Amino acid sequence: MATVKVNSRSPYYVVASGADGGTIENASVKIVQVTGTGDKDGPISEIYGTNITLKVVANNFTPVSYLWSGGAIAGNTNKQIDDFTEPSGADQSITYGVVAKDSAGNSYPASFVVNWSTDAQYEALFQLTDSVVGPSQGYTITGTPALTFNSSTEKYEARITGKDGDSYSFAYSVSLNNGFVEDSGSPLTLSPASPVSTLRKRKSSGSTSIIETFFFATNALSNFLA
């Protein structure tokens, strides 16, 4: 916003109105599912015909417009999309997107994935707690599916979604990096034994979350000294 003095002798200033047009620092948006127990991040799994509600959550600014894309809500311009579903069809993942704009016309995109199915889907959640004593750069975890650190639970997590009766597998290993040794003299291990690799049937009790937790055996790491 510009401020200009009328002339060198005048005590009055002219102030231009309107937005400067620059992007807002740390501004962002995300899409969440609105539920009876609070907002939920994606991805989520739903059955065709089940109504869901999605809304936009903005950080550090107030959007002046919204434009949604994907599935049945494409073209919607509301902040929150209440009670919508998708017509029955083949199992599929639909990515719903939104572009929110600020008063200067800057765009802030976000997306949210819903796995739609004709039958109920269940989630296997793998959580790995790192109990190694020493620098994290001293070892590497590899395996599938990819692990992501969750700062809320302070665990590494991976998720697999499927139907009742589907099999699933989590397989990981840990190795020592060059330049490091174990103070304890024993190799780094996973508990259960590395690699963790199982195929199990999903629970048939209607549970929507299967949690299996595995831990690193505690070892102390130190830099290798030549």
Each residue's pLDDT tens digit, 118-163: 887 777 777 787 777 777 788 888 888 888 888 888 888 888 777 7
* CATH topology assigned to domain 121-223: Immunoglobulin-like (2.60.40)
User: Domain ranges in the chain?
Assistant: 28-117, 121-223
Q: Which of 42-51, 155-164, 170-179, 212-221 holds the top average pLDDT?
A: 42-51
pLDDT tens digits, 53-112: 999 999 999 999 999 999 999 999 999 999 999 988 888 999 999 999 999 999 999 999
Instruction: Evaluate whether 28-117 and 121-223 have a shared fold.
Output: yes
Structure tokens at 112: 């949210």
Q: What is the pLDDT of residue 13?
A: 52
Report the C-alpha gap between 218 and 220 in whole angstroms. Answer: 7
CATH superfamily for 28-117 is: Immunoglobulins (2.60.40.10)
pTM of the model: 0.59
Residues 6+ apart with CB under 8 A from 90: none
Say if residue 225's pLDDT is above 50.
Answer: no
Confidence of residue 212 (pLDDT cuts 50, 70, 90): very low
Given CA atoms 13, 17, 22, 24 in this order, what sign does their dihedral have? Answer: positive
Report the C-alpha gap between 77 and 100 in whole angstroms. Answer: 9
Task: Tell me the β-bridge partners of 16.
Answer: none
